[in-house]
Amino acid sequence: MLHHKQQHPGQLPNGQEVVVKRRSLHSNQGKEEFDNETVLAAKLHHRKLVKLIGFSEEGDEKLLIYEFMPNASLDRFIYDPDKHGVLDWETRLKIIKGIAEGLLHLHESSRDSAIHRDLKPSNILLDENLNPKIADFGLAKLLDGDQNHGNTRRPSGTM
């Protein structure tokens, strides 16, 4: 039984490295988040958003295939004492600016504006040069037309 999601490295036939995210098989929330993530990731494209390469849904099996980010997530650099020193002030500023650029795209620049609703260090992935990309759009919410804020019926995010 999967609790929420598992991630596995993989490689496509063309040699491209990917990460396969497997959603919970026994959760209505997992189904809802999977559907939301596939729709949003397909609509929202930007160099500061992690790229969805594909997905598969057969019965209860739900897989999302994303570009591989070799430095994993920002939380590993913040909370791991061995990696903490890698983030000098110049790199931290680059990461902050990259996150802000991705959020600006989500909120204002995209044809389909969205609110992430679960932005945290573990949802900021880092490429080989420590450039950030925002990930995990399972809780994100699309905004209608010129709407610049949204209402939700339930609290979202990580507590």
Q: Residue 59 is encoded by which pair of tokens? A: 């019965």
75 part of the active site: no
Q: Distance (Å, rounded) from C-alpha 46 to C-alpha 14?
A: 23
Q: Distance (Å, rounded) from C-alpha 1 to C-alpha 77?
A: 30
Catalytic residue among 88, 118, 127, 146: 118
DSSP symbols for 24-69:
-SS-HHHHHHHHHHHHHHHH---TTBPPEEEEEEETTEEEEEEE--
* Of the candidates 97, 101, 77, 75, the residue with the CA atom closest to the CA atom of residue 87: 77
Q: Residue 123 is encoded by which pair of tokens? A: 């949802």
Q: Which residues are catalytic?
A: 118
